[in-house]
Structure 1
Amino acid sequence: MSRRQIHQGMRLRALATTLLVCVGLVGCQGIPSSGPVHEGLERLSQADQPVQFNPGGPAQGASQEDIVRGFVSAAASSADDYATAREFLAPEYSDDWDPSLGVLVDEGTQQYREAEENVGVLSLSAIASVDGRGSLQPVGPGAATEVRFEFAEIGGEWRITSAPAGIILDKSTFAAVWTPLQLYFLSADNRLVSDTRWFLNRATISTQVVGELLEGPTEQMIEVVRSAIPAGTVLAAGAVPVVDGTARIDLSAELLDADAATMELVKRQLGASLQSVPNVARFELLVNSSLIESGTVIAADTTSPTAENLYVAGLKDGEFGPISAGDVTVLPGIGARIAQLEPSAVTLAPDRGSAAVLHQGAVSWVSPDDQVVVDVRGDLIAPSLDRFGHVWTYSSAAPGEMLVTKPGERSTLLQMPWLGGRVPVAVRVAQGGNRIAVLVVDAASPDQSKVLVAGISRDESGVPVALTDIANTELWVPGTPVDLDWIDDERFAAVTRAGASGKVTQGVLGQFAVESGVVPGAVSLSGGGNRSLLRVLDDDGRLYAPQGSGWQRQLDGIALVAKVG
């Protein structure tokens, strides 16, 4: 491993500690470093931003508070490696402050107080943090986040001698100068799997996208996905210029270790990851300036249901099947079997050819030709059914364990160490089969709910072998938890309850959640496998569909609405 790579690894580990300290109400000290700035974030300080911020430097005679506020404001501009922001720092500290170590995003209200002599504290209402690799996580509501600054008098003027690593931006500024893009890695069966990253919105964004692909998956997903790009491959030219719509990617000789099949996977990763980069339609792969391969940007593989399976299904008047024109049509093959079980929850396979059914204290797998009981433990919740045919069941009688069963074959218990004693209300496997989401009550705040998302490690045949040791909190939302479902492989929806109101919130992995209105008495929802098929059911059997910013009552007398996957 090169000295540069060692420094980058150390920086990423330091970043995790730094942001946890910031968010945990502890004063943050600047962390001097001697290695190079992380490739992905530094490169974008070399070009002009589409949105320009031109903050001024420190005013003569400025107070310590003025210096802090000016410094925070100036960090909105990364021009010339944050040159204006560095003017607020003491000369000996200016080179040590590292803005590449992430972003703390706040609501915009910042209270300043003097903590002690030559020490000030800025209190923030933080809503998210972005690490040095561009991964965003929401910050839980509650007490203010406090960050610490130290000062010295330099030539009769106050300057900062210690500040939080990374930068602080309010949400509107952050959204103006940073943008979310999808990077793509590979599952065990070589399907493309997305990973949302935030990048400075600059002309050199192609360099950062390729740089992050070369860095590989995040720590959480390292056992879930992989990159086809041979280990040790780096940018030979240090940048990815875009010429007439073609991104020229000049890589080191390690790329030549890829055989023909691997090279096709490399091209798929690059083509999908570059599809959202402005003005890029094609790419060329070079090694030491010699053209090796070329390709076009492509849409990623989709796990969405095919057109013939795009419908909402439910149970009404003892019949189970697609809901259309105000009625339910029996689903061929399995609809009658499901209805006979008198289900309390149903999850259909993505192809609608089989189902996992919760009924009378058990979960059964139903197909046109068979019916198999897969779990009889008590306190079961709605099951999941992944694209490989595995039924996922959770019982609060066996906390912290997920039972995964391939009907007619074997069962496996997967550990969920990140639950930490919390009781899931809903557990759902994403359509791609690479992530699992869990809706729980926040242990510290019973009136708050949150969604945890972990990765699923599988072997090449699709058999789940483990859940990741890390689960990211992808959503904090007020109210007690009611239900959760995936809309597609990147988006999910949750229902929480405050009094009689069922609040619907839509989340996107690695992005900000969106409040999606209220359905009084909401008891369950279905993502449907497509955003247009999102449905909410209330406690009187009324089914609601989204309309504008609200919900429209669509049908009455529905006993349950099915989930997919």
Structure 2
Amino acid sequence: MNAWPRLQRVSILILLISLLSACSSIPKAGPIGTIEATAEDELGPRFVNDPPPPREGASAAAILDGFLFAGIGVSDNYSVARSFLTPALAETWEPEEEITIYRSDFKISSTPTEGELQLQLEVAAYIDGSGIRRNVAAGTTESITVQLEQVQGQWRVAEIPSGIMISAADAEAFLQPHELYFYSSSYQYWVPDVRWFVNRQGIATNIVQSLIDGPAPYLQGAVTSAFPENAALAVESVPIESGTATIDFTQDILTAADNLRRQQMEQQLRVTLTGLNTVNSVELRAGQPIDIDIDPDLVLPKQDPAVPSQQIVISDNELAFFQGGQLTTEDGVPSVSEFDPVDPAMSYDTRNFAFLNGDRTELMATGLEQNVRTVVTGSNLTHPSYDPANWIWTAGSAGGRSYVRAVPPGGSAGNAIEVLTAWLGNRTISEIRISRDGARALIVAQQSGKSQLLLSGVSRSEDGVPQALSDPISLNPTGAIDTAKWVTETSVVVADTANEGAVTATLIPFAANIDEYSPLEGLEHLSAGTGSTNVFAESGTSIFGVVGNAWTDQGVVARDPSFAG
């Protein structure tokens, strides 16, 4: 939704593109009142790279309003936006220090002090100078006091925080999401760190700078970077020529590193930058090209690993397998019917299994040619989740508090560990799913009657033992949910299975708009394999698969389907 009042925007846009017509105006004289941004219903594009400069004689409110709209003009280092500022502020103002995305109409109001205005926004998200996005709950507002001064008889903004403010609609064209890739602690997997950058020339430089600065706070301790803390660019630009991005580092960064570390740097840059359609290779320099020999110890990490197509289910109160529309059993899987099993899970090698008893007070583990053993006891235990190293994860409650526990491969109740979650507080966890790279935990929690969809980093010891879940970021579901599953490395599917009647499952990409599947009557359980078309649900004792956006009965009698992980 555009912030520029209609008459001012439309009159200028008529001269520029001859498309629009006028409809209202800002007062040019008299007392300053309240301005509300109007709905975007023009035929022209929301994203305008060359916004209009200040009008001579414009009121203080019009200057502030014009400055806000000019924030989407990136040309010549935001020169148009700077023209709305006093000369002193124009020198120090940092447009990309923080980007505020607002949900709906903002308001500019007068105060008793001349030249002082109050700006009110309903905020959707903040993006810091490293591209890290922080979503905030619907209804979050911010009030900013803005000072304006007369400069040669014209109002100009003299005091306002650095950064630009754009509508959620403008953000879709103005910002470009991009994955920075870091190594998992084992160097076996790439772990994506989604960032948001202004969609303009020089985006590759911003991406590289953010990559060498390190991961987002929630991933610190959960991932590894090939770049040392003192890594710096010798030339603050990353030119791209014939598909090759050239990154020039200060001399000591590359010369002080051994060949393996230099190759890990090159690999990390390449997998990150090839996300741009203009880059297919990278060249590292320290004043001159650096030769990098292939090191036999170099690990080629897996990116967004696929999961096996086979699912584990409960059929006739026993563990069974579902694949290609068929139910099968397998020799060597022990009987579990005496435990009234629910919520089965399977390791990525499809040889180890876990499930809950019917009361969800015991987490049981077994496998091919293995006995059934209890590995965790508690109350309200959540659907178990295997990580790539075969640790089994669950959450539950005991003594009036929630906790997260992890069981090592082949472990028992005696060596299950409690994972530190200092931020958990009074939240109740209804689901925890470890990502396929093992470095992140997807958590569905309830707090004060509201659902939260959280993403936390998994910190481990040097030998891979889980230690803590970092302070999470919020993925902000649109409504109540109680279950979530990984679909890809940067997307999840969620639903509120506690809802009666038809239930709508929602696909939530980390860097795109959400998408909804068709409602399914009585949806009780979700499972997700590789990709958004490999999602399944249970209703009653029937399993449904997604075809297009709708659900199709798979023609088997089973419950609680679950892919590996």
Verify same fold: TM over 0.5.
yes
Deviations 1:35-73 (A, max 9, x none): xxxxxxxxxxxxxxxx76110011122223322221111
TM-score by length of 1: 0.83
Do the aligned partners of residues 96 and 484 (structure 1) sit closer, same or farther apart at CA in structure 2, a change above 3 Å counting?
same
8 Å CA contact 1:483–1:523 kept in 2: the answer is no
Query: Letter of the aligned partner of 2:461 in structure 1?
Result: D
The aligned residue for residue 532 of structure 1 is: 533
User: Is 1:185 the counterpart of 2:182 in the alignment?
Assistant: yes
Query: Letter of the aligned partner of 2:167 in structure 1?
Result: D
TM-align CA RMSD: 2.6
Do the aligned partners of residues 237 and 343 (structure 1) sit closer, same or farther apart at CA in structure 2, a change above 3 Å counting?
same
The aligned residue for residue 16 of structure 2 is: none
8 Å CA contact 2:533–2:547 kept in 1: the answer is no
8 Å CA contact 2:327–2:556 kept in 1: the answer is no
Measured in 1, the distance between the counterparts of 2:469 and 2:509 equals 20
3-state SS, counterpart of residue 104 of structure 1: strand
The aligned residue for residue 73 of structure 1 is: 69
2:103 pairs, out of 96, 103, 107, with 107
Measured in 2, the distance between the counterparts of 1:122 and 1:519 equals 44
The aligned residue for residue 489 of structure 2 is: 489
Deviations 1:321-365 (A, max 9, x none): 33346442224543x545564311111112222122111331111
Query: Letter of the aligned partner of 2:534 in structure 1?
Result: L
Do the aligned partners of residues 67 and 382 (structure 1) sit closer, same or farther apart at CA in structure 2, a change above 3 Å counting?
same
3-state SS, counterpart of residue 455 of structure 2: strand
1:130 pairs, out of 121, 127, 130, with 127
Deviations 1:127-176 (A, max 9, x none): 22212111123221125443332222333322212223311112232221
The aligned residue for residue 116 of structure 2 is: 119
3-state SS, counterpart of residue 94 of structure 1: helix
Higher relative helix content:
1
Measured in 1, the distance between the counterparts of 2:427 and 2:80 equals 46
3-state SS, counterpart of residue 419 of structure 1: coil
1:230 pairs, out of 217, 228, 231, with 228
8 Å CA contact 1:136–1:510 kept in 2: the answer is no
1:408 pairs, out of 408, 411, 417, with 411
CA shift for structure 1 position 435: 0.8
3-state SS, counterpart of residue 477 of structure 1: coil
The aligned residue for residue 392 of structure 1 is: 393
Deviations 1:74-114 (A, max 9, x none): 00011121110111112222223221212111234323322
Do the aligned partners of residues 158 and 542 (structure 1) sit closer, same or farther apart at CA in structure 2, a change above 3 Å counting?
farther
Deviations 1:386-413 (A, max 9, x none): 1111111211225242111113373221
Do the aligned partners of residues 377 and 498 (structure 1) sit closer, same or farther apart at CA in structure 2, a change above 3 Å counting?
closer
8 Å CA contact 2:543–2:553 kept in 1: the answer is yes
Stretches of structure 2 lacking an aligned partner (at least 5 in a row):
1-46
CA shift for structure 1 position 203: 3.4
Alignment of 1:144-543 (within 5 A): 144-191=141-188, 192-253=190-251, 254-293=253-292, 301-302=302-303, 304-305=305-306, 309-324=308-323, 326-331=325-330, 333-334=332-333, 337-338=335-336, 341-360=339-358, 361-370=361-370, 371-397=372-398, 399-406=401-408, 407-408=410-411, 410-443=415-448, 446=449, 448-468=450-470, 470-479=471-480, 481-496=481-496, 500-509=501-510, 512-538=513-539, 540-543=540-543
Measured in 2, the distance between the counterparts of 1:144 and 1:501 equals 33
3-state SS, counterpart of residue 144 of structure 2: strand
Measured in 1, the distance between the counterparts of 2:458 and 2:87 equals 48
Measured in 1, the distance between the counterparts of 2:63 and 2:548 equals 45
8 Å CA contact 2:402–2:429 kept in 1: the answer is no
Measured in 2, the distance between the counterparts of 1:529 and 1:246 equals 31
Do the aligned partners of residues 331 and 201 (structure 1) sit closer, same or farther apart at CA in structure 2, a change above 3 Å counting?
farther
3-state SS, counterpart of residue 293 of structure 1: coil
CA shift for structure 1 position 366: 1.4
Which moves more between the two structures, 492-501 or 187-196? 492-501
Do the aligned partners of residues 167 and 332 (structure 1) sit closer, same or farther apart at CA in structure 2, a change above 3 Å counting?
farther
Do the aligned partners of residues 71 and 548 (structure 1) sit closer, same or farther apart at CA in structure 2, a change above 3 Å counting?
farther
Which moves more between the two structures, 310-319 or 488-497? 310-319
CA shift for structure 1 position 464: 1.0
User: Is 1:546 the counterpart of 2:551 in the alignment?
Assistant: no
8 Å CA contact 2:317–2:341 kept in 1: the answer is no
Query: Letter of the aligned partner of 1:314 in structure 2?
Result: V
8 Å CA contact 1:229–1:258 kept in 2: the answer is no
Measured in 2, the distance between the counterparts of 1:282 and 1:425 equals 43
CA shift for structure 1 position 519: 2.7
Measured in 2, the distance between the counterparts of 1:325 and 1:311 equals 8
Count of aligned positions:
504
3-state SS, counterpart of residue 61 of structure 1: coil
The aligned residue for residue 86 of structure 1 is: 82
8 Å CA contact 1:527–1:564 kept in 2: the answer is no
Aligned-residue identity in percent: 24
3-state SS, counterpart of residue 425 of structure 1: strand
Do the aligned partners of residues 52 and 113 (structure 1) sit closer, same or farther apart at CA in structure 2, a change above 3 Å counting?
closer
Structure 1 segments, 4+ long, off by >6 Å, are none
Measured in 2, the distance between the counterparts of 1:511 and 1:119 equals 38
CA shift for structure 1 position 303: 5.1
Do the aligned partners of residues 499 and 87 (structure 1) sit closer, same or farther apart at CA in structure 2, a change above 3 Å counting?
farther
Stretches of structure 1 lacking an aligned partner (at least 5 in a row):
1-50
CA shift for structure 1 position 499: 5.4
CA shift for structure 1 position 462: 2.1
3-state SS, counterpart of residue 187 of structure 2: coil
Deviations 1:223-248 (A, max 9, x none): 11121123322111221111221111
Measured in 1, the distance between the counterparts of 2:51 and 2:107 equals 20
CA shift for structure 1 position 556: 6.0
Alignment of 1:42-81 (within 5 A): 53-81=49-77
Measured in 1, the distance between the counterparts of 2:125 and 2:94 equals 19
8 Å CA contact 2:263–2:292 kept in 1: the answer is no
Do the aligned partners of residues 198 and 287 (structure 1) sit closer, same or farther apart at CA in structure 2, a change above 3 Å counting?
same
8 Å CA contact 1:474–1:510 kept in 2: the answer is no
Query: Letter of the aligned partner of 2:368 in structure 1?
Result: P
Deviations 1:496-538 (A, max 9, x none): 2665342322223465544444333322211224433211223
Do the aligned partners of residues 519 and 122 (structure 1) sit closer, same or farther apart at CA in structure 2, a change above 3 Å counting?
farther
Which moves more between the two structures, 157-166 or 500-509? 500-509
The aligned residue for residue 30 of structure 2 is: none
3-state SS, counterpart of residue 451 of structure 1: strand
The aligned residue for residue 28 of structure 2 is: none
Query: Letter of the aligned partner of 1:93 in structure 2?
Result: L
3-state SS, counterpart of residue 526 of structure 1: strand
The aligned residue for residue 21 of structure 1 is: none
The aligned residue for residue 25 of structure 1 is: none
Do the aligned partners of residues 285 and 560 (structure 1) sit closer, same or farther apart at CA in structure 2, a change above 3 Å counting?
same
Measured in 2, the distance between the counterparts of 1:90 and 1:420 equals 46
The aligned residue for residue 34 of structure 2 is: none
Query: Letter of the aligned partner of 1:430 in structure 2?
Result: S
Do the aligned partners of residues 504 and 290 (structure 1) sit closer, same or farther apart at CA in structure 2, a change above 3 Å counting?
same
Measured in 1, the distance between the counterparts of 2:357 and 2:218 equals 35
Larger radius of gyration: 2
